Each structure stands twice: as structure tokens, then as C-alpha cells.
Amino acid sequence: MSALPAELYYAEIDASTATLAALADSADPDLPIATCPDWTLRQLATHLGRAQRWAAEIVRTRSAEFIEFRAVPDGRLPDDETARGRWLTAGAARLISALREAGEAEVWAFGELTQAGFWGRRMSHEAMVHCVDAQLACGAEISLTPELAADAIDEWLTVMSGPIFGRADPRLTALPPGRSLHIHAADPELATGGEWQLAHAGDGIHVTAEHGKADAALSGAAADVLLVLLGRKPVTDPAVRAFGDHQLLTTWLTEMSF
């Protein structure tokens, strides 16, 4: 899949952060986040606010190297509970402003130099998924844009689940040699770009955006498929359908949760 227009990512960063900020202002900060084990709502808000400021600093300074989290300005969640929502939305605004100013400038991204727009895409998905974490914990309604959910599936399968930042590719053990998976986001709004074929060939994991047969498959609306892939919903959720070798799919989902 091709990346989406930058302004769509910015709008998602803004909207998801605003939703999380509202929940952070109204819900118990010690509320457990079941989809992020050992985290509370306070810790979830801190994570997203720090991550957005970290990405903003990388982009703003056009950094060619990793920046330590502790070096990022204003990275601490305010003690004043009434200020926490504003702290979150301020971090999102800072990130969006830095991205707009950077344009196509190259910056550090997990050990490589790439266009700053990488962080627009990455942080829009980060905000979207962690907003879902808070919504699930609070019992709030969830609504994801199919186009963005499908793009997040693509980023997860092709980038974030792979050998980034010098780590070994965890997909090599999650999908045994000679085996294959098919992922299908079946939303009618997705004219193209809603299918992925994953195969473990002799030289590694190959991901292609195409229809095809596989040993196991997962199908459903993009939002539901994304949440299953990232461990936010079980594969038994009635909103998705699993086909073929269920053990293979279960192994992948267990090994590759976000």
C-alpha cells in the first residue's frame, strides 16, 4: 500500500489524542488498561504524550540520530490532573507543527534516515491504537476509519513487526519456513490495498499486497482485523473470520502482538 495523504495522518493524530485527553480528564487515572498489561490510564497517557514529543523533537531538529527520551522537553505528565488533557493535546499539536515544517526533510527513524513523513504515519497509528486502548478500558464506543485502519495493518505487517532498529526479525519464528498467511480487510470502501500475503521463503519473510491462497487467513473489516492483529481483540471475535490452519494463525498472533 502507498502511504496516505499527510493531512489525513495529522487529522488522526489530532482527533485520537483529543479523545484520549478527554478520557484522561474524566476517568480514574488508575484505571487498568487491559490491552496494555500493567499499565494504567495515567501510564498510557504518559506514554503517548512522551512519544509524540519525542517524535516531534526528532523531526523539529532534523536529527540524524536517536534522541534519548529523557532529553525531550516537557516529557512529564503534569501532577495537576486538570492539566493532563491539555498536556496531551499540546504534544499532538507540537508534533503536527513539526511535521508540516519539515516536509520531505530526512530524519532518523529506527536506525535509518527517511523522510519526516514516516513519523506522521507512525504516530497517527500510535495515537489511534492507544486511543482504542483507553476506549476499551472505559467502555467507550470505538470507530476507526477503514482507510487508516488498513494503512495501519500495512505498516504493522511490512515495517513495525519486522527487523527494525537492528533487531532480529521476530516474524521468522512466528511464521515457520514454507508457511503462509493471508490478511484481508474486506471493507467495501477500500477499492484497493486491502489484502496482504505473507510467506516465509528461504531468505526471509515476504509481504506482498495481493490476493492469494495461504495456509491460514484472517478476514473482516479493516478496524476489526487491525485490532485482532495487535492483540486488542481475540481471533474468536465474531467480527472477524479465520480460515485454514488455526494453530498457525494463533501462533502468529501470540508471537506478534503489539
Q: Is the pTM of this model over 0.85?
A: yes
pLDDT score for 113: 96
Buried/exposed code over 23-45 (b: 16+ C-beta within 10 A; e: otherwise): bbbebebebebebbeebbbbbbb
Query: 7: how many CB neighbours lie within 10 A of its CB?
Result: 11
Distance CA 29, CA 41 (A): 5
* pLDDT tens-digit series, residues 44-88: 999 999 999 999 999 999 999 999 988 898 988 998 988 999 999
* pLDDT tens-digit series, residues 197-227: 999 998 899 999 999 899 999 999 999 999 9
pLDDT score for 2: 58
Using CB atoms within 10 A of its CB, is residue 141 exposed (0-12), middle (13-18) or buried (19+)? exposed
Distance CA 235, CA 241 (A): 8
CA dihedral sign of residues 190, 156, 221, 40 = negative
- At 244, the pLDDT band (50, 70, 90 cuts) reads very high
* pLDDT tens-digit series, residues 11-54: 999 999 999 999 999 999 999 999 999 899 999 999 999 999 99
- At 167, the pLDDT band (50, 70, 90 cuts) reads confident
Residue-averaged pLDDT of the chain: 94
Task: Give residue 170's identity as a one-letter amino acid code.
Answer: P
Distance CA 227, CA 186 (A): 14
